[in-house]
Amino acid sequence: MSDDKPIRVEKDEHIAWVILDRPEKRNAMGYDFFVQMIEVFIELDEDPDVWVAVIKGEGKSFTVGIDLMALAGLVESTGADAREFLRHTIVKGQLSTTVLEKCRKPVIAAVHSHCIGGGIDLLCACDIRLATKDAIFSVRETRLGVVADLGTLQRLPSVVGDAWARELCLTGRDFSAEEALKIGLITHMVETREELYEAAGGIAREIAGNSPLAVMGVKDTMRFTRENGVQAGLEYVAQKNATQLICEDAIEAITAFMEKRKPVFKGR
């Protein structure tokens, strides 16, 4: 783990691989993780050479969720300062997932082994999710006497439907990759980590082969529509395309189609 930071980034052409890099703690998520995740995705959002991001975990697990040992002192303390820092930490945690959702570039999650608690919060804020067959998921907070507070309760119903979200959140039970595939939490299940990263990279490259402006527009419009409703979303995309439809990317895509060649996009 470089510079003792819980996250590192590796770039491959227009794809950024965001690696959870705390393998000795099974990528448990603490305050430093929240802070760096926010910094990383703000930077990727502004990087014109990055068109897609893929999140994966180093070591034995994708993530076991919140680092309970690191936060135990805050939970046990009755001091006003500790309570305020706990509130501040929760807000940072919320921002660390919201920043994935707000990032203009698509975010893909490649999950292996454990994806527990805060890991589900992270997944729900991603655009596309894949997993290995051995992956185990859980909205574990309920079993620990805690209300999940980093985004799962707000986002999971729109991913898997309200009924499945309620069962998983209220029971806190473990569920397999096969069940995650069945309910739509993930879209692909593979046997090995090698296949996982190959599949995630393949989807990322396919996305990166499209117009970056169009891709960002699709993500933005879908998010806006989910938050504001169908009619507002239709009006939003009409305005967006009225200002964006005639652009270099669109001209290049049409020209390449007519010339029967692969388009070459310049990014934003």
Annotation says 119 is catalytic: no
Q: Distance (Å, rounded) from C-alpha 115 to C-alpha 38?
A: 20
Residue 233 and residue 217 in contact, taking contact as beta carbons nearer than 8 Å: no
Q: Which of 39, 47, 134, 149 is catalytic?
A: 149
CB-count burial class (<10 Å; 0-12, 13-18, 19+) for 227? exposed
Angle made by CA atoms 148, 156, 226, in degrees to the nearest 5: 125
Q: Which of 57, 65, 93, 118 is catalytic?
A: 118
Q: Which of 141, 151, 186, 207 is catalytic?
A: 141
Phi, psi of 238 (to 5 degrees): -65, -45
Annotation says 66 is catalytic: yes
Q: Which of 21, 67, 101, 121 is catalytic?
A: 121
Using H for helix, E for strand and C for coil, what is the string for 88-133?
Answer: HHHHHHHHHHHHHHHCCCCEEEEECCEEECHHHHHHHCCCEEEEEC
Q: Identify residue 122 by its one-letter amino acid code.
A: L
Using H for helix, E for strand and C for coil, what is the string for 69-94?
Answer: HHHHHHHHCCCHHHHHHHHHHHHHHH
Query: What burial letters (b/e) apply to 195-214, b meaning 16+ CB within 10 Å?
Result: ebbebbbebbeebbebbbbb
Annotation says 47 is catalytic: no
Q: Which of 66, 116, 120, 207 is catalytic?
A: 66
Q: Distance (Å, rounded) from C-alpha 47 to C-alpha 60?
A: 30
Phi, psi of 196 (to 5 degrees): -60, -50
Catalytic site positions = 66, 118, 121, 141, 149
